[in-house]
Amino acid sequence: MSSERKKNPEHFQLNPNWAQLQQKLKSSAKPSRHSKNPQSETPNSILGKRKERPNSETDDAKPNPLMPTNDDSSVTDVLAMDCEMVGVGQGNKSALGRVTVVNKWRNVIYDEFVRPVERVVDFRTHISGIRPRDLRKGKDFRVVQKKVAELIKGRILVGHALHNDLKALLLTHPKKDLRDTSEFQPFLKEGRRKALRHLAAEVLGVEIQNGEHCPVDDARAAMLLYSKHRKEWERSVKDQLRLKEKQKKRKQRKKPKADINHSLIAS
């Protein structure tokens, strides 16, 4: 008997009470389609608000422009460097405590703590961020110096007040290959240099060096400043090199005339 009911469900008798309930549900469902009752609109409005939440959250979360644009950690034709110093001697003499180098994509390609040759008497932690434990695991100065020299050789070097960093490393670099954000004309204010943190805030809209300095952020900020003004910067460097070349040629042309006049007087 049960098998016949399954095969022919239309012959199955519904409970009269259940049939009445179904009829009531059908009759109450029809007017709800055209109902103007504001309560019926509530679920839609709630769902709408939920959909808006992710958008509002993404608007508030601003990405950090200093972060790398990709994961390429190769040694590029342009590198940015920043160093942090510690105090040696009487404490007023600076020595290299950490050096960071990033490529043009702002990926770190070298970042090492350094054990200075002289004994450290002031770690300058409030600025350098360096602590005794960092230098205990640091590399020998000569090892770091050699590695950095290899990295920057033949490449454009970007940084802020690079003469201080190069002095701490006891290295030199061709002036034509230096891109110092402290000396770039558009970054100067009435001929005076600005601090890197001020340039980062004004040009990049980024806050850095709030408390302990991070050489990674500083190197990335310098690289981003260079990247944003690269065309203009490289044009100005070429103009300066042309001007120097012209001045050099003029001096060479004047020298033979002076030699001729001297020989005439002597005869």
Q: In angstroms, rounded to a whole number, what is the distance separating the alpha carbons of residues 267 and 261?
A: 10
More reliable by pLDDT, 16 or 51: 16
As a whole-number percent, the residues of the chain with pLDDT over 70 amount to 73
104-126: average pLDDT = 96
**pLDDT band at residue 16 using 50, 70 and 90 as cut-offs:** low
Quote the pLDDT of residue 144.
Answer: 98
Quote the pLDDT of residue 243.
Answer: 87
Q: In the predicted model, is pLDDT for residue 263 greater than 80?
A: no
Quote the pLDDT of residue 245.
Answer: 84
pTM for this entry: 0.71
Domain ranges of the chain: 78-243
**pLDDT band at residue 267 using 50, 70 and 90 as cut-offs:** low
- Amino acid symbol at 109: I
Q: In the predicted model, is pLDDT for residue 72 greater than 50?
A: yes
Quote the pLDDT of residue 30.
Answer: 54
CATH number 3.30.420.10 is the correct assignment for the domain at 78-243: yes
